[in-house]
Amino acid sequence: FTESKKEMPSLAKAWAYFEHFALPRYVVSDGEGLDSAEPGEEHLPTKLYNPFCTPHKQLGDWGLGVGLYFTTLRALCILTFLGGIVSIPNIIYFSSDDYSGGQEGVRAPMKGSAICTDTTWVLCTDCKDNEYPDGRIGYGINVDSGANETFAQRNNCDGATIEQGMINLGALALISVGLLIMNFTIKRVEVQFDIDEQTAQDYSIVVANPPLDAYDPAEWRKFFYQKFGAYVTTCTVGVDNDLLVNSLVERREKLKLIESKLEPGTS
């Protein structure tokens, strides 16, 4: 092969390599579904997966774990959205004048929460500093007796009403039932992803406790046919072959490294 020539770094080539080798792409076809393209596919037209329009059933193309992750994420988004809808009456009440005078001084993202800004200082003879958060304990002089007294900041908001409690209970029940349904749905989706992605692993078995003298692949082929009526396509008998497997992996890595240093089209 010809000696590789050094070229100046090219941002365009780097982006092209990134888009065609690192980012996931699918083969453009007229059939239903999206078939995942191999990295660096040159013979068939390919496109990048659309992050918004890719069908949910295609998420298993990146592996079972990725598909289940996004399935769970979608289910949790739906659950929290429904929980928020159920809690709207509480949000309206907490942000109203009836609860805390409109929650003056509370930032917009926290408006509608149970934060109470309607407070008064009351005498507390047995209060200690370590029993309350910072700012909730104060000290002053009693105008009647002239003695130093301890005061505590008390909330005047009425947030523990039956109506608010029932709404919170309803939201909790919705989330609990939703989690049970989500668990059932994820198990069903896991089976569907596994069926859609056919790999050699789906048709492979491993015998972990073979007889010590079972070295002949032909014997194994005969055993599976007579016992289960199964036709064995490939049979590998591995006996203390860790060194061999590691050597094959190292060989493949070396070949990949050599190929990466050759110019395109070099054979």
Please give the pLDDT value at position 5. 62
* Strongest mean pLDDT among 111-120, 155-164, 171-180, 224-233: 171-180
Length of the chain: 267
For residues 86 and 164, give the distance between their C-alpha atoms in angstroms, rounded to a whole number. 11
* Strongest mean pLDDT among 146-150, 197-201, 250-254: 250-254
Greatest CA separation found in the chain? 104
Categorize the per-residue pLDDT at 1 as very low, low, confident or very high, splitting at 50, 70 and 90: very low
Does the pTM of the predicted model rise above 0.75? no
pLDDT tens for each residue of 128-141: 767 777 777 888 88
Categorize the per-residue pLDDT at 3 as very low, low, confident or very high, splitting at 50, 70 and 90: low
Q: What is the mean pLDDT of residues 247-263?
A: 89
Please give the pLDDT value at position 267. 64
| 80 within 8 A of 179, measured Cβ to Cβ | no
pLDDT tens for each residue of 160-213: 788 888 999 999 999 999 999 999 999 998 888 877 776 677 778 888 888 888
Q: Are strands 148-155 and 137-141 parallel, antiparallel or unpaired?
A: antiparallel
Please give the pLDDT value at position 177. 95
For residues 160 and 93, give the distance between their C-alpha atoms in angstroms, rounded to a whole number. 12
For residues 68 and 56, give the distance between their C-alpha atoms in angstroms, rounded to a whole number. 10
For residues 79 and 16, give the distance between their C-alpha atoms in angstroms, rounded to a whole number. 40
Across the chain, mean pLDDT equals 84
Indicate if the pLDDT at residue 2 is higher than 60.
Answer: no
Indicate if the pLDDT at residue 115 is higher than 90.
Answer: no
Please give the pLDDT value at position 4. 56
pLDDT tens for each residue of 10-44: 888 889 889 888 888 888 887 777 788 888 888 88
Report CA Rg, the chain.
Answer: 34
